[in-house]
Chain A
Amino acid sequence: MPPRIWYRLFFLASVSLTGLFLLMMWTEGNPEWKSYQVAYHRLLAQRTQAVATARTPLAVRQVHLPEFGRTDRCMTCHLGVGNPAMADAPQPFRTHPDYRVHPVEQYGCTICHGGQGMALTKQDAHGFVKHWERPLLPKPLTVASCAYCHQNLVGLKGAERLVRARQLFDTVGCIGCHTLNGWGGPISTDLAYSAEKPLDEFDFRYVTGIHTAFNWHMEHFKNPQRVNPGDLAANVPPTPMPNYRFTDEETEALTALVLGFAHERIPARFVVPDRAPRPAPQYASAVDAGRAVFQKYGCAACHGMEGRGGVKNYNAATGGEVPPLLYVAQGFTRDQLKELIRTGRYPTKADPKGPTVPLWMPAWKDKLSEEELEHVVEYLVSLYPSDSERN
């Protein structure tokens, strides 16, 4: 006879195997989504007075979209998206406000909203789980996805925020340092695929909220130096990106804009091309034309609005700031100015052992045309304050 331990093991293993087997069967038969479907069918039966609806068989529902490379199963729980009877129902059953223009059968859900469309539990589907890089966008940021298809957002209902963000983007001159789709300065990161940057490349050490890309962008727009303070011990300066003191709304709009910079595979038939006529701009004077050049190349990003300066440039010998341009007419001839813009300049360090100066004047000779150069110099000279302004 084997020792008693074998009998005990046999008993224990058999009992636990039976228990585990039953547990597995139960888990398989009672997924989270089934309770949502039961609740939905009951609610619908109540509202439409069609009693039989309550007994609709439970099943996984999905929209398979090979064109988008997606399979969305969101409607397994969000059953009312296309049913006008559920317009005021509680979530997850409410009708989609836009279901006639963007029917879920054609577009699915995740292309606009983000999230993990293949998943069938709330947590996994909404995507706030490890190893899912693009979770559900918060409501005010969903507008980011409009730009995937709509090439011109001006006048598009609901996309006002993005238009506003784009104006801000141009005004503060993001393009002076950042590149976007091959256009812009070499100083900072390329924004083309901002929405697809892997999460582990973000530094979340100074982010207080949840560790998602949109939260990082929100906090970074609000206060770039807090999120990216550098590390002076390792000779890394804080980020030179100015703190523009954006309002909450502007921050949200800009975050949405940046999260729209993605490389989404959009089938041609969904693309809404930009057909708005764009007449060549007319300028009253060379100075006005120069102001447009100043904005086009994002000079304001470093030299400040209207060249008034005030942008921090850590460890630069010019007082730790990018020089303002108000007085260039005093120190430079027109030819010297042109030459400086053409070749660029690297600032000297205030403390030779300190960190590399983050902002510098790139060489613009391959980007600005001779005419643009002429105009921008004209504009710079015009910045020199009149006697009354100086006093």
Chain B
Amino acid sequence: MPDLDLQDLARRVKTSQIWRSVFRHGYQDTPRNRALMVLANVFLHLHPVKIRPAALRITYTWGLGGISFYLFLVLTLTGVLLMFYYRPTVEHAYLDMKDLRYVVPFGDPLRNMHRWAAHLMVFAVMLHMASVFYRGAYKPPREYNWVIGVLLLLVTFLLSFTGYLLPWDQLAIWAVTVGTNMAAATPILGAEGPLAIVGPESDARFLLLGAKAVGQSALLRFYVLHCVLLPLVFAIFVSVHFWRVRKDEFSAMPLPPKAERRQGVGVEEWLRANPQAREEKVFVWPNLVGREFVATLVVTAVLLAWSLIAHAPLEELADPNKTPNPSKAPWYFAGLQELLVYFDPWIAGVVLPTAILIGLTAIPYLDVNPRGVGYYNVRDRKFAVSLFTFGLTLWFVLIAIGYYLRGPGWEWYWPWQPWDIHRVTPQGPLTNLPNWAGVPLLVAFFGACVAVPRLVWKPFARALGPIRYTVTMLLAGGMFFVVLKIILRLLFKVKYVVSFPGINLNI
């Protein structure tokens, strides 16, 4: 037997045409190769070749954007696998869930992982948005990408919401019933909304459901939206999102040494004095790519453990004739559902979500404060940070109340109290403010929201200019009105501030 020269064999393989066509440059750890690793790879090419070291600190992004995207990839993969076993018909959908649970090989962890990753993604995207806000990464030149981000948040909600219906159990159809009934309350275009010009056979809910109630056509529509249209829309927007991150540069800014910060040196001033600090950069390969890889491993491990421990919820077979009490919307909409106690559906389900989306979109165009870009800064952004924090807290508190503290009849139950379907807490009579008082009061409230801050913070108002200032104050006023209405309802038993029952317009 002739001697096997392994070294020679390796050399031959590595110099072969096939090898070189695939791997192109070697793996020698040289600066050139570090750059090529990113430049010559279509996927890694989403990254720049070099970034500022500040971007690598985990406490800057918490990896939330990347984790959201990774979860999207997990959801795509598990979702495609689920599609092999799932039929979107009312006869089969629920039975297919049971088959996935009991007889499909790895069907149970597969469905669990899809479900838990979906919840995690909604949560991660919300947190990602919050972190971007707090580190001022939406400010110029990144306004456009913030708006894309808001759209991605919306698509994430819609993806999760359309997926909610597919198991076709009681949880699914009633959560979607709650959600789509809100669409019926859309002003003008919803059959039950104010100023309705359409009937239930041609309104916004009908568009979503393909019928007046959740049934086969809704299941098919949601399936197509969930598996085809929305992922496509998401992929397009997320490509733009990444591309803009590349074009606008990653936001992280180097910070002055701790000693100087303690002396009160502002980050912006220090950067102006030390322009070279901005230019200090390190290679993305392996610094960032390695961290990203570890993050995906951690997320995968957490998801897999979660999927092996907890089953994805599956209740009784859907039955349009048996309404569970309570019927709850998916958790991320439970806050809006909680607001149904205080508002008519057209406000809680349509006006407020729209206002929230418009308000979020408007943030980078309303906030002219140049400070606090690329690092966490509360001191110089007191107004913006407190307003956003207030809204974020309100959103999550309402979700917690709606999801955890409401029982049958939407009664208040502490987690340790057993539910009692017969319990009805008498509310006492609720009164409407007379319109002659309510209309001026409403106008006065929003008028004051615009007029008063200008008197207190003159330079602030001047810096914003009249249009930005008015829009900001009206949006903030809308947010505070939600709280005001809750107080009016709970303490003063007021049902409506303004009421025109003839056109279903009650506020």
Contact = CB atoms under 8 A, between A and B. Distances in A.
Interface of A: 2, 6, 9-10, 12-14, 16-17, 20-21, 23-24, 27-28, 60, 71, 73, 118-121, 124, 131-133, 198, 200-201, 203, 205, 231, 234, 236
Interface of B: 56, 95, 98-99, 101-103, 105-106, 109, 169-170, 287, 290-291, 293-294, 297-298, 300-301, 304-305, 308, 314-316, 322, 324-325, 420-422, 424
Nearest to A21: B304
A53 B396 CA distance: 61
Given A2-B290, A119-B98, A201-B421, 18 more contacts: A2-B56, A9-B298, A10-B294, A12-B298, A13-B298, A13-B301, A16-B305, A17-B297, A17-B300, A20-B304, A21-B304, A24-B106, A28-B106, A60-B103, A131-B314, A131-B315, A200-B325, A200-B421
Contacts of B304: 17, 20-21, 24
Mostly, the B contact residues are: helix
A119 B325 CA distance: 27
Contacts of B287: 2
Contacts of B325: 200
B103 A120 contact: yes
Contacts of B98: 118-119
6 pairs of A and B residues whose beta carbons are closest in the complex? A13-B297, A118-B98, A131-B315, A120-B102, A20-B304, A13-B298
A44 B420 CA distance: 51
Contacts, number: 75
Contact of A203 (B95, B102, B322, B421): B421
Contacts of A17: 297, 300-301, 304
B290 A198 contact: no
Given A2-B56, A120-B103, A203-B421, A20 B294 contact: no
Nearest to A120: B102
A243 to B, nearest CB: 22
Contacts of B105: 28
Given A2-B290, A118-B95, A133-B316, A14 B297 contact: yes
A378 B122 CA distance: 75
A200 B324 contact: yes
B408 to A, nearest CB: 8
Among B106, B287, B297, which residue has the most Cβ atoms of chain A within 10 A? B297
A118 B96 CA distance: 10
Contacts of A133: 316
A315 B404 CA distance: 40
A14 B105 CA distance: 24
B298 A119 contact: no
B106 to A, nearest CB: 6
A203 B308 contact: no
A21 B102 CA distance: 19
B294 A6 contact: yes
Among B105, B298, B301, which residue has the most Cβ atoms of chain A within 10 A? B301
Given A131-B315, A203-B421, A198 B308 contact: no
A358 to B, nearest CB: 15
B116 to A, nearest CB: 14
Contacts of B424: 234
B172 to A, nearest CB: 12
A198 B99 contact: no
A121 B298 CA distance: 31
20 contacts: A6-B291, A9-B298, A13-B297, A13-B301, A16-B301, A17-B300, A24-B109, A24-B308, A28-B105, A118-B98, A118-B99, A118-B102, A120-B103, A124-B102, A132-B316, A198-B324, A203-B421, A205-B420, A231-B422, A236-B422
A120 B103 CA distance: 8
Nearest to A27: B308
Nearest to B418: A205
Nearest to B424: A234
A5 B137 CA distance: 26
Contacts of A2: 56, 287, 290-291
Nearest to B170: A131
Given A24-B109, A131-B314, A10 B297 contact: yes
Among B56, B304, B315, B424, which residue has the most Cβ atoms of chain A within 10 A? B304
A16 B325 CA distance: 41
Contacts of A6: 290-291, 294
A192 to B, nearest CB: 13
